[in-house]
Amino acid sequence: MLTFTVRRLLYGVLLLFVIVTIAYLLLYAAAGDVGRTILGPTATQATVTLKDQQLGLNSPLITRYFSWLGHALTGNFGSSWFTNQPVTTAILTRLQVTLTLVFGAVIVSAALSAVLGVWAALRGGWVDRIIQVFSVLGFAVPGFLIAVFLVRIFALELHWFKPTGYVPITYYFGGWVRTVTLPIIALSIGLVAGVAQQVRSSVIDALRQDWVRTLRSRGVSERSVLFKHVLRNAGGPALSVLALSFVGLLGGAVIIEEVFGIPGLGQVAVLATSEGDVPLVMGLVVAIGVIVILVNLVIDLLQGFLNPKARIS
């Protein structure tokens, strides 16, 4: 198990490295005249050249890359070209907000999918039908549309929740709940759609296996067959789907944050990319990359725990 973990970790680090390198090279190669972009069309050429020098843009790309890498490894990602705020600060303050939303959605979705999926697999009937409808809607309707719809009904009409803004959990729990509930619901629906379906088919598949009959022939209780054996075997594929959907979840979060006016990474992403603020975008790439890789690592470990055969690959 230990070698498995270490191997997956190293693989993740390597992947992050590749992503970061490609991103850096692409962004700077296409950045064009940076000094001009920052200072605007009215600035003189002299000021522009001075700015370029200040930003260290006159050395070759490769040198700049290694210099950036060196600083990055010590936690220094430079400063935003437009606000001069250190990238690390800008991102870390927003990171926890986005993480709240995203992990909230993951937990809610996982729990809901497990319950719905197992129920549908065992009982069929109306629960099954609800899941089908749910998943069609979840697939078909983009998360932000659901978000807009939710804002319309629950915030504007019913006033149950706040339509925009974010209250940190440490500040006021009730306020926090009022601000994150709708976004988390909007994010979760898409996720539940996919994962519940997968749970349902995995459970049905597992129940068809030969070893279920053999376990029953030994007099093992139905509860143990289901909750101990079947769920454990069905968990693997469901976790895979969760891992795959997670990346999409992050993307969805960017848009949802816009809809609800939540000061998370999404806002940074939108701002930084629209202005072409490369240091900030690089910081973003690293942050998102780390999140994705960590989450995938955790899910891989969970799968290794559930499924002994997976530990070998």
Task: Kindly state the smallest distance separating residue 236's Cβ from another protein, in Å.
Answer: 9
Task: Kindly state the smallest distance separating residue 51's Cβ from another protein, in Å.
Answer: 19
Residue 129 near residue 197, CB atoms below 8 Å: no
Helices and strands (DSSP H and E) totals, the chain: 13, 0
Tell me the HSE value of 90 on the side-chain side, using a 13 A CA sphere.
25
Q: Which CB sits closer to another protein, 52 or 275?
A: 275
Task: Kindly state the smallest distance separating residue 99's Cβ from another protein, in Å.
Answer: 14
Q: Which amino acid is it at 257?
A: E
Q: Which CB sits closer to another protein, 185 or 259?
A: 259
Closest of 275, 283, 280 to residue 38, by C-alpha: 275
Task: Kindly state the smallest distance separating residue 199's Cβ from another protein, in Å.
Answer: 11
Task: Kindly state the smallest distance separating residue 296's Cβ from another protein, in Å.
Answer: 8
Cα distances (Å, whole numbers) of residue 75 to 78, 119, 273, 276: 9, 47, 22, 22
Residue 276 near residue 27, CB atoms below 8 Å: no
Q: Which CB sits closer to another protein, 72 or 231?
A: 231
CA–CA gap between residue 146 and residue 182 (Å, rounded)? 10
Chain-centre distance for alpha carbon 90 = 19
- Please identify which residue in the block is written with the tokens 């900030």: 280
Q: Which CB sits closer to another protein, 2 or 210?
A: 210
Q: At what angle do helices 173-207 and 87-123 cross, to 10 degrees?
A: 40
Task: Kindly state the smallest distance separating residue 132's Cβ from another protein, in Å.
Answer: 8
What are φ and ψ of residue 86, in 5° steps? -60, 135
Q: Which CB sits closer to another protein, 160 or 173?
A: 160
Q: Which CB sits closer to another protein, 168 or 251?
A: 251
Q: Which CB sits closer to another protein, 127 or 285?
A: 285
CA–CA gap between residue 28 and residue 86 (Å, rounded)? 19
**Is 313 exposed, middle or buried, given 0-12, 13-18 or 19+ CB atoms closer than 10 A?**
exposed
Q: Is 86 helix (H, G, I), strand (E, B) or coil?
A: strand
Q: Which CB sits closer to another protein, 92 or 137?
A: 137
Q: How many CB atoms lie within 10 A of CB 24?
A: 21
Task: Kindly state the smallest distance separating residue 172's Cβ from another protein, in Å.
Answer: 26
Task: Kindly state the smallest distance separating residue 85's Cβ from another protein, in Å.
Answer: 19
CA–CA gap between residue 90 and residue 111 (Å, rounded)? 33
79 phi-psi bin (left φ>0, alpha ψ -120 to 50, beta other):
beta
Q: Which CB sits closer to another protein, 100 or 202?
A: 202
Task: Kindly state the smallest distance separating residue 312's Cβ from another protein, in Å.
Answer: 6
What are the structure tokens assigned to 102, written together?
A: 């995203």
